Amino acid sequence: MTSPLLRQVFVAAAICLNTLGHGAGLGYSAVLVPQLQDESSPIPVTANMASWIAAVTAPSLIVGNSLSASIMSKLGRKITTYIMSGGAIVGWAALLLAPEF
């Protein structure tokens, strides 16, 4: 049997990793945009397009936060976390497996 302290540390670490994942998602455009604006980039991006790439996360946060609140009230926190984490895992896997960028 594990001690209550060990369980608490595990839960706190899981929450920190979740927050780290959200921060990485929000900061991804800071790394992506300069690579896309490079002259050798196979995807030419103008300054206007780059601003859209960086700004598109804000509306998605509004939609995601609203949806997660309503899903959480119907299904509970645990199931909602599983659902939202599944989407995040698919997104990060797509980035990881992409042949470029």
The end-to-end CA distance of the chain, in Å, is: 45
Please state, for a pLDDT cut of 90, what percent of the chain lies above it: 21
Tell me the whole-structure pTM to 2 decimals.
0.60
User: How far is Cα 27 from Cα 39, in angstroms, rounded to an integer?
Assistant: 22
Taking Cα atoms as reference points, which of 68, 64, 57 lies closest to residue 25?
57
Q: What pLDDT was estimated at residue 100?
A: 72
> Do 101 and 32 form a contact (C-beta atoms < 8 A)?
yes
Predicted local distance difference test score (pLDDT) of residue 101 = 58
**How does residue 69 score in pLDDT terms, banded at 50, 70 and 90?**
confident
19-47 residues labelled b (16+ CB within 10 A) or e (exposed): eeeeeebeebbeebbeebeeeeeeeebee
Indicate whether 48 pLDDT > 80: yes
Residue 1 — very low, low, confident or very high, per pLDDT cuts 50/70/90?
Answer: low
